[in-house]
A and B are shown apart, each in its own frame.
Chain A
Amino acid sequence: MAGEGPREVSPDLVAALFVAAGLVAAGVFTAAWRRELTAALAGIPLMFAGAGVAFAAIARFAASGGPQLFGQEFAILLAIAATALVALGLGIAGREGSR
């Protein structure tokens, strides 16, 4: 429209949620598509990362009132839990699998 300046391309909640959606979908695709069970385990940290990005973005852009760090806290716990689940899965796979 005439008179309007260039639109500012700044990340907002929608952009962050798009990235989170992409990461979750990539994780689900990895878990579903890989023929190897151990390779499918790599989908877990991807899905958890997507959820973490969504939580951190809501804490950054949309959490009003109260402590605004709940999203970051949940993202941290999700990253640690994903690592633990991958370690357990690869350990069990190492017992059963072949090189």
Chain B
Amino acid sequence: MGKTGWAWTWFGFLLALDVAIPWFVLTHVEKMSGAFLFWTIWVVVAIISAFVIFLKWKGARR
């Protein structure tokens, strides 16, 4: 699988976590350290992943 394929797979994995963890793991945790903290950390991971990819971009000639 190429880089593009890996990036799509990673994105799909993040989306799976988006539902799986809050609804199936943290559903009874009525604290800020539950779904609130999960989603905050989860999106930071997604943002860092995007940075890792786009910081490698370089100017392309038209």
Q: Answer whether A and B are interacting partners.
A: no
Which residues on A are within 8 Å of B, measured CB to CB? none
Q: Which residues of B are in contact with A by a Cβ distance under 8 Å?
A: none
